[in-house]
Structure 1
Amino acid sequence: MKGEAVAVAGASGTIGRAVVRECVARGFEVIALVRHASDRDVPELAGARVQTVNLADPTDVALALAETNADVVISCIASRSGSPKDALKVDYEANCHLLRAGEGAGVQHFILLSAICVQKPKLAFQRAKLGFETELRTSRIAHTIIRPTAFFKSLSGQVERVRAGKPFFLFGDGELTACKPISDGDLARFIANQVGNEKAYGAILPIGGPGPAITLKRQGELLFEAAGLEPKFRSVPVGVFRLFAAIFSLGAWASDWLAEKAEYARIARYYATESMLVLDPVTGQYCAEATPEFGEDQLIDHYRAILADPPK
């Protein structure tokens, strides 16, 4: 509904920018909460009132949110590294500061961008996200938790390899996992749809792109097709990540650097072996049919758009 005042935290991030742009287009009064003053010049934030805030400081967050007069808070903040310390500070603590500030400022609805992988938590950032989801569910503010599948950006790490004529890396045979990737724009539209939607209060909403679910091998095939090249693959054994995690863990007790490296290896193994689809709690299996679909954007068009730009 027009006139809704929406504060978007993490507005300078990839998804945050898309959400701000979509909310502005819908006629909402949008306040983009960013960490750095330089983010005021981000083109995608045009039409929004940009406000800097230190999400690590609960007092600063409370003052900033009180000035927004927001009816709705959309949190798109997420740890960039996934390391245990970063996850605790961002995925849990910063979101808690935002929630408490919202309670004090009279915010009516808190929309959280979470992740579908928290269904099967094995990593620090997943546990941090779940910890905040618990805080949110016990708050007096109406809430909506959105758990998207893989983003187009997260499936674009091998674009430059393929452009350079190198093989696409597979884990195992490339059929171990599947997902329904969703574009920034489609996800932003789905998130904006929940603003003012009372049917979404208290809901946990898993969401994927238009489908069908695709494996890692299929991602590679789409990338080669977009590049106009014959597919060329190279298999990487999944066990290598377990080995690296074990090696780095030996000194993790004495070194934050080694502890982070061990966690990165565990993260890599997780994404190499776990699908980003709805998990059936009864069977323990991932289910493509049970994973909701939304939007129109296709991954191959995203690949074509990247390949149309000059190599980096």
Structure 2
Amino acid sequence: MSEPREIAKIVLLGASGTIGTAVAREFAAEGYAVTCPVRRHCPELSTDVTQRIWDPEDPASLAAILSDQGPGAALISCLASRTGTPEEAWRIDHVATANAFRQAHAAGFAQGILLSAICVQEAELPFQQAKLAAEDALMQSGLDWAIIRPTAFFKSLSGQVERVRAGKPFLVFGDGRQTACKPISDGDLARYVRLCLEDPQMHGRILPVGGPGAALTPTDQVALLSDLLGRPVPVRRIPLSVLTAVTGTLSALARLFPALRPKADMGQIARFYATRSMLVQDPVNKGYSAEKTPSFGTETLADHYQSILKGNKTINLGSHTVFDRKPRRKRTPL
């Protein structure tokens, strides 16, 4: 068992992302000195943190930042590729992340924490394989480590709230009961990351974690929204065979037309999440287990949906906006 250390300084990678921002705020609120290497200044970050400009693909740009923290600090990585495409995933999720942990050890850091993902249990996609390789790099880095594998984030389950509020149907693949997850809020996950730093019993472990309550299927999400809106939410079911056919067609065309490769890659990612539960696998029963997926925190998905519907919370969905994309306007020549 690791001996507890007094760590006061944190270097946080990936702070400009949704989860990273929450982690930065959590540590700053608890009195840690937080340094966030970022590609460009991030106004969403707390003024209590220090921002330093860096290039994730240039190890030398991180070396000076790490050396300024002195020995005994901790490196936390919430770094993730923005698209999940194979090339970017290996450059960011693996190479940049692994280099950072090695550099942190060389700079005298004491601990390293990696925010990974539950989906690496079935590492079929390149970004999952890259994350799994980053996990191995941290374990081999010489740092006292912890690896966190969260289930679904609230953000990833918020893409249809506005369309449902507008009276449009909730889209589900298959029967809407094939997959399930135990989503966790940004704030609860940020507190869990801090506990992983502070609690020696969580060191040297791979830690799957979900939010409070029972596992939820897409059908359960429909029920939540129906209750909150006070009316039945219509459902449109998309056969999995349609998604499989579209993904297969895109993959075949991408071999002839390389420009289609990003869309084919995104199709593969969409099909994975449409057919796999984000829960701990049960090797005995050859399936997923909600009971074996640890729960943490207090905020539920219903709480989150209610905050959005009441206007108390806005969500920048970014790449999660996949249901109601508007066509781009053609630019008028000047």
What is residue 103 of structure 1 aligned with on the other side? 105
CA deviations 1:226-269 (Å, max 9, x no partner) are 23331211101112222122112223345443222111111111
TM-score by length of 1: 0.94
1:99 and 1:129 map into 2 onto residues whose CA distance is 13
What is residue 120 of structure 1 aligned with on the other side? 122
- For the 8 Å contact 1:66–1:101, the answer to whether it is kept is no
Offset, 1:198:
2.1
CA deviations 1:21-60 (Å, max 9, x no partner) are 1111111111122110x31x32x42211111211110111
Q: Does 1:302 align with 2:304?
A: yes
What is residue 85 of structure 1 aligned with on the other side? 87
Offset, 1:281:
2.4
Stretch moving more, 111-120 or 219-228: 219-228
- The partner residue of 1:239 within 241, 250, 275 is 241
- For the 8 Å contact 1:57–1:97, the answer to whether it is kept is no
Q: Does 1:16 align with 2:37?
A: no
Which amino acid letter does the alignment assign opposite residue 179 of structure 1? C
SS class of match (1:214): coil
Which amino acid letter does the alignment assign opposite residue 198 of structure 2? G
Percent sequence identity over aligned pairs: 46
- For the 8 Å contact 2:7–2:74, the answer to whether it is kept is no
1:170 and 1:250 map into 2 onto residues whose CA distance is 25
Offset, 1:185:
0.3
- For the 8 Å contact 1:8–1:76, the answer to whether it is kept is yes
Stretch moving more, 302-311 or 259-268: 302-311
What is residue 94 of structure 1 aligned with on the other side? 96
1:142 and 1:167 map into 2 onto residues whose CA distance is 48
2:242 and 2:306 map into 1 onto residues whose CA distance is 32
1:170 and 1:83 map into 2 onto residues whose CA distance is 24
2:236 and 2:27 map into 1 onto residues whose CA distance is 42
1:49 and 1:198 map into 2 onto residues whose CA distance is 27
CA deviations 1:129-170 (Å, max 9, x no partner) are 011111112221111000000000000000111011001011
For 1:173-184, list aligned pairs within 5 A. Answer: 173-184=175-186
1:305 and 1:2 map into 2 onto residues whose CA distance is 37
Structure 1 stretches of at least 4 aligned residues deviating more than 6 Å after TM superposition: none
What is residue 4 of structure 1 aligned with on the other side? 8
Which amino acid letter does the alignment assign opposite residue 36 of structure 2? A
What is residue 203 of structure 1 aligned with on the other side? 205
What is residue 73 of structure 1 aligned with on the other side? 75
Structure 2 gap ranges (5+)? 316-334
Structure 1 gap ranges (5+)? none
- The partner residue of 2:266 within 261, 264, 274 is 264
SS class of match (2:96): helix
Q: Does 1:29 align with 2:33?
A: yes
What is residue 158 of structure 1 aligned with on the other side? 160
SS class of match (1:206): strand
Offset, 1:3:
5.6
Which amino acid letter does the alignment assign opposite residue 223 of structure 2? E
TM-score by length of 2: 0.88
Aligned length: 309
Which amino acid letter does the alignment assign opposite residue 166 of structure 1? K
1:76 and 1:34 map into 2 onto residues whose CA distance is 12
CA deviations 1:263-291 (Å, max 9, x no partner) are 11111111111000000123321000000
- For the 8 Å contact 1:119–1:279, the answer to whether it is kept is yes
1:28 and 1:50 map into 2 onto residues whose CA distance is 14
Offset, 1:98:
0.9
Instruction: Please provide the CA RMSD for this pair.
Output: 1.8
What is residue 57 of structure 1 aligned with on the other side? 58
What is residue 45 of structure 1 aligned with on the other side? 46
CA deviations 1:155-204 (Å, max 9, x no partner) are 00001110110010111111001111100000000001111322222100
